[in-house]
Structure formats: C-alpha cells, structure tokens
Amino acid sequence: MKCGYCGKQIKGTAEYCSAYCREKGEAGKNFARKTRLPFWIVQIIAIVAIAVGIMLIAVQKHDQGAMFVSAGLALSGVGLLAFPRAGKGRGTLSQVCGSLFFALAVVIFLLWR
Ligand SMILES: [Zn+2]
C-alpha cells in the first residue's frame, strides 16, 4: 500500500501512513468531492470555448478563434488550479496541467493580440 497523501510505502492495509496524512488526505478528498461539479462545469465551458475557437480558426476567423481558444485554456487552467483533485498524483497532475494550460493561454493571447 501507498500512503494516500504523501505516497510513502506503508506496510499493511492502512490508507495513510500517519494521522497527519490522514487528516490532509481526507480534507483533500472532501474538497475534491465538493468541487467535483464546479470543476466539471468549468472544464466543459472551457472545452466548448476551445471548440468554438477551433471552428472560428477553421473558417479563417483567426483573431476571434485564438481569443476563444486562449480563454478556454485559461479557464481550464484556473479550474484545475482552483479545484485540485484528490490524491497526491492526481493533485500534482492537475496543478501541472493547470499551470501549463494557463501559460499556453497567455502565449496564445500575446501572439494573437
Ligand atoms: Zn503519508
């Protein structure tokens, strides 16, 4: 078994290695559970914005398209950062992706300003 918070190897079937990790891990899980709906709403809006942007680019409306794509990416990134997923691995992944999407959004915005 691996600790559900810090990822340390632990013997037996315990979910966490210590009381501290249990507290942090459960708090993260609760937060992820509570924010699941806003998280997905934000991601769906972001995906729709990106899809609209790609369609606009496809019909040669590059400026508006890039704006939609960068807005969608920024929104998705903010959503990932604001509502981290539970668990060490997924929490880190959502933060890395969130920062990446946001940085990409800024780059697109600056390029097509
Ligand atoms: Zn731990």
Give the residue among 53, 59, 55, 25 at the shortest CA–CA distance from 112.
53
Q: How far is the CA of 4 from the centre of ligand 1 (A)?
A: 7
Cβ 81 vs Cβ 52: under 8 Å: no
Give the Å distance between the CA of 71 and the centre of ligand 1: 37
15: CA distance to ligand 1 center in Å? 9
Position 104 scores a pLDDT of: 94
Higher local confidence (pLDDT), 73 or 14:
73
* Ligand 1 centroid distance, CA of 78 (Å): 27
The angle that helices 36-58 and 62-82 make with each other, rounded to 10 degrees, is 160
pLDDT digits (tens, 9 = 90+) for 57-85: 999 999 999 999 999 999 999 999 999 88
CA 97 – CA 113 distance, rounded (Å)? 24
CA 6 to centroid of ligand 1, rounded, Å: 4
Q: Give residues whose Cβ lies within 5 Å of ion ligand 1.
A: 3, 5-6, 8, 17, 21
d(CA 106, CA 46): 15
Q: How far is the CA of 48 from the centre of ligand 1 (A)?
A: 38
Task: Provide the whole-model pTM.
Answer: 0.80
Query: Residue 13 pLDDT more than 90?
Result: no
- Residue whose C-alpha is closest to residue 105's, from 65, 72, 62, 56: 72
Q: Tell me how far apart the alpha carbons of residues 7 and 21 are, in angstroms, rounded to a whole number.
A: 10
Asked whether residue 55 carries a pLDDT value surpassing 90, the answer given is: yes
